[in-house]
Amino acid sequence: DTEVTQTPKHLVMGMTNKKSLKCEQHMGHRAMYWYKQKAKKPPELMFVYSYEKLSINESVPSRFSPECPNSSLLNLHLHALQPEDSALYLCASSQSTQWTGGGGGEKLFFGSGTQLSVL
């Protein structure tokens, strides 16, 4: 099973709403990521969790709040978003947090994403 599952697939929210994106993997991966992708641009890293601890926050505004309840789950809580936050939000996971000599542990596996529209 090499699947990362994200829900919902689509989300429309107003600027005063609170919503959450969910991500799940059962591959035993110890690193999980949130990326944001705008049209015709590459994914931009937002957060990295390593062994359930936040290890990287790429200066993301506080209206985005990540949470890692356990090693399989990753959430992204959204509050008071702006229209410019509309994008594809991708969750990803990788087996380990450091290079494993080419053994494949460093590969990123992506979920299918949540297409978010903020009105």
Q: Which residues bind another protein (CB under 8 A)?
A: 31, 33, 40-43, 45, 48, 50, 55-56, 88, 90, 94, 97-99, 102, 104, 106-113, 115
Q: Please report how close the Cβ of residue 16 comes to another protein at its closest, in angstroms.
A: 27
**What is the residue type of 85?**
D
* Pick 61 or 104: Cβ nearer another protein: 104
Closest contact distance (angstroms) between CB of 17 and another protein is 23
Of residues 18 and 98, the one with the C-beta less far from another protein: 98
CB 100 → another protein: shortest distance, Å?
9
Please identify, using beta-carbon distances, which residue of 43 and 66 lies nearer to another protein. 43
Report d(CA 56, CA 110) in Å as an integer: 18
**Least distance CB 13 / another protein (angstroms):** 19
